[in-house]
Amino acid sequence: MNHDLVDLGVGLLFVLFQAGRRFNTPSTNRSSTTAGRYYMALGVYWAAAGTTYLGLSEFPHLIRFLTADFVGAGQAPAVLAAAERLSSPLFAALLMTVLLPNLPLLSGIDRWIFRELQGVAAIPYEVRRLSAELRGLPCSLPADVREEIGERLDSEGIAGGDVRFEGGAAPQQAWTSLTGLFILVERWEKDRRMAAYVEEYAEALATLRARRQALIPKARGCFPLLAPGADDSDRARDAIRRFAGDFSEQVALLRDALIDFVSRGILYAELTGTGRADRLRALGFSASGGRDPLTFHQMMALFGVVGALMLTGSVIRNTGAAVGHGVLLVRVVMIALIYISAVSCAVFPRESWPFARRDQDGGRPYGFYLLAGVMAVGISQAIGFLFNSLLMKGIAGGAERSLYTYPWAVMSFATAVGVAFLVDDPRPAEPRRWAWRLGEGLALAAILFAAALVTCDWLAERVALLGPLPGYFLPASGMVQRNAAAIGLAIGILVPTWYRDAPRRRREEAGGVAPSAVIEVEARAV
């Protein structure tokens, strides 16, 4: 077995593992946004880390450049000794994991990529948005929990007349509602989907329980003072108001903290917008739960559609030589991932980057369209390089093959720009909905067909310039063009409509108001 290849694989696993840990630092990052956003951003972060690692492994002189600070700090002997004992891939893995914080240039780039991807993934904006929405909504406790609330409050010394499920902003109603929410959250310990979250954040839940426990004596002292017939002298009323106000303020702060805990749990455990909305309804909230521009299931469906079209149309077909089933499957996965990445670059940054959306006058963000295309090219080339290295069983072979295949970046650029343009189309009237969707599909099909023409000519030009490469064959141009058009048709029909159908986006477009105003309007409507 090739030891360099084994070292490369082992080093890559360590690099990806450590990159995943960094991306989830602090550990609340995963519960700060939706699963789709988090894993999309994590995938890009993995691609960046993996590409950097492979580059360092292939070009050892870059390691000497990056470790110049070690030499200047008098740590050269230890670094050089490690370099002599380890192969280039393993030493590159050491730099990308343990020694990364001590490499100013590399760690600075890593921090910049990390911050940008956090913004794209809406960390921690999404959990703050959901918490703010829930704070503005009343909690209508389900009927099956009301009896348990009465029993718990009775055991804590709260009289039955102070158990109020209605009553506006009265302290009794706030305490009853808070108790019910605690009971519903505690049921998560027996919920298969939520149990992992409760176990991981058991300390936070225990702190919230302790805070509620500390308020029980105040509740027992406050509620009798608010009962009819209590001392109604001016001084007594003033003291009672201050005491009740202080108690209500502490209850409100605890409720806000519990809602933060609930919001993180729902984002952590539920992968889809529908699941989050169902979970919120089970807690008594009439809230949407938020929706990504593209949900996790929609992304998986798009991956399946592209993969099926690739297999059915036999886009990857050698000229005169058979392709093994394993190689065919790897290439189909690679190309499907590239298309998904291009669509993600066109859609997901819009929620975090104001310049990526239409302006107040309705002008299109053409600068963002180009930026989305450039991002798609960068990500597609990184994915292509990783897969080419896998197929060629080494970085050198992957780099050589990439010199032949990089013209495929035209397809990524065209897909990202085309999708970014189409999702800004206005929402069509219902009678014209399917005609509009078909028109968008045909438009993207035409764009990708033209891009395929350019790509095939460029691929042929590369082979003519560099000469034949063992194991590489030009794909049939007609097949590439037909299947590019088919994929464009599918993406154009599905993605722009999926994006416009996202509830949050629909509310903002319909009213042209800020999300905070939307939350306030919905709260008043409830």
- Supply 456's token pair: 């095939």
In a domain, 131, yes or no: no
Q: Which of 226, 254, 282 is the last residue of a domain?
A: 282
Query: Over the stretch 479-500, which tens digit does the pLDDT of each residue have?
Result: 889 889 999 999 999 999 888 8
Higher pLDDT, 206 or 348: 206
Q: What is the pLDDT of residue 78?
A: 56
Question: What are the distances in angstroms from CA 408 to CA 43, 398, 453, 463?
Answer: 20, 15, 11, 14
Q: Which of 94, 123, 152 is the last residue of a domain?
A: 123
Mean pLDDT, range 405-420, rounded to an integer: 94
Band (pLDDT 50/70/90 cuts) for residue 472 is confident
Distance of CA 82 to the CA centre of its chain: 37
Higher pLDDT, 68 or 165: 165
Q: Dihedral of CA 31/34/36/40: which sign?
A: negative
Q: What is the pLDDT of residue 290?
A: 57
Burial of residue 155 (CB within 10 Å: 0-12, 13-18, 19+) is exposed
- Are 184 and 274 part of one and the same domain? yes
Higher pLDDT, 23 or 477: 23
pLDDT at 515 > cutoff 60: no
In a domain, 211, yes or no: yes
- Are 148 and 192 part of one and the same domain? yes
Q: Which of 162-166, 289-293, 375-379, 454-458 has the lowest mean pLDDT?
A: 289-293
How many domains would you assign to the chain? 3
Band (pLDDT 50/70/90 cuts) for residue 523 is very low
3-state DSSP of 262-316:
HHHHHHHHCCCHHHHHHHHHHCCCCCCCCCCCCCHHHHHHHHHHHHHHHHHHCCC
- Are 320 and 233 part of one and the same domain? no
Helix-helix angle 125-135:234-269, to 10 degrees:
140
| Mean of per-residue pLDDT scores for the chain | 81
Query: Over the stretch 26-75, which tens digit does the pLDDT of each residue have?
Result: 888 989 988 878 888 898 898 888 888 888 887 777 776 776 655 454 55
- Tell me the whole-structure pTM to 2 decimals: 0.65
Query: Over the stretch 298-346, which tens digit does the pLDDT of each residue have?
Result: 888 888 898 888 877 654 454 434 556 677 788 888 889 999 999 989 9
Share of the chain above pLDDT 90, in %: 24
> Which range has the top average pLDDT, 51-60, 171-180, 205-214, 431-440?
205-214
- Are 445 and 477 part of one and the same domain? yes
Q: Which domain holds residue 143?
A: 137-282
Distance of CA 410 to the CA centre of its chain: 26
- Supply 45's token pair: 């972060």
- Are 62 and 119 part of one and the same domain? yes
In a domain, 521, yes or no: no
In a domain, 241, yes or no: yes
- Are 9 and 39 part of one and the same domain? yes
In a domain, 20, yes or no: yes
- Are 261 and 352 part of one and the same domain? no
Mean pLDDT, range 122-132, rounded to an integer: 87
In a domain, 358, yes or no: yes
Band (pLDDT 50/70/90 cuts) for residue 469 is confident
Q: Which of 123, 151, 172 is the last residue of a domain?
A: 123
pLDDT at 94 > cutoff 80: yes
Band (pLDDT 50/70/90 cuts) for residue 204 is very high
Band (pLDDT 50/70/90 cuts) for residue 524 is very low
In a domain, 186, yes or no: yes
Q: Which residues contact 483 (CB under 8 A, 6 or more apart)?
A: 309, 310, 313, 315
Higher pLDDT, 8 or 154: 154
Residue matched to tokens 């702060």 = 253
- Are 275 and 313 part of one and the same domain? no
- Are 62 and 99 part of one and the same domain? yes
Band (pLDDT 50/70/90 cuts) for residue 6 is confident
- Are 328 and 464 part of one and the same domain? yes
pLDDT at 393 > cutoff 80: no
- Are 253 and 307 part of one and the same domain? no
Higher pLDDT, 363 or 286: 363
Q: What is the pLDDT of residue 439?
A: 92
Query: Over the stretch 207-261, which tens digit does the pLDDT of each residue have?
Result: 999 999 999 999 888 888 877 665 566 667 777 778 888 888 999 999 999 999 9
Q: What is the pLDDT of residue 525?
A: 30
- Are 251 and 325 part of one and the same domain? no
Q: Which residues contact 224 (CB under 8 A, 6 or more apart)?
A: 159, 230
C-alpha 332/C-alpha 310 separation (Å) is 6
In a domain, 142, yes or no: yes
How many CB atoms sit inside 10 A of residue 258's CB? 20
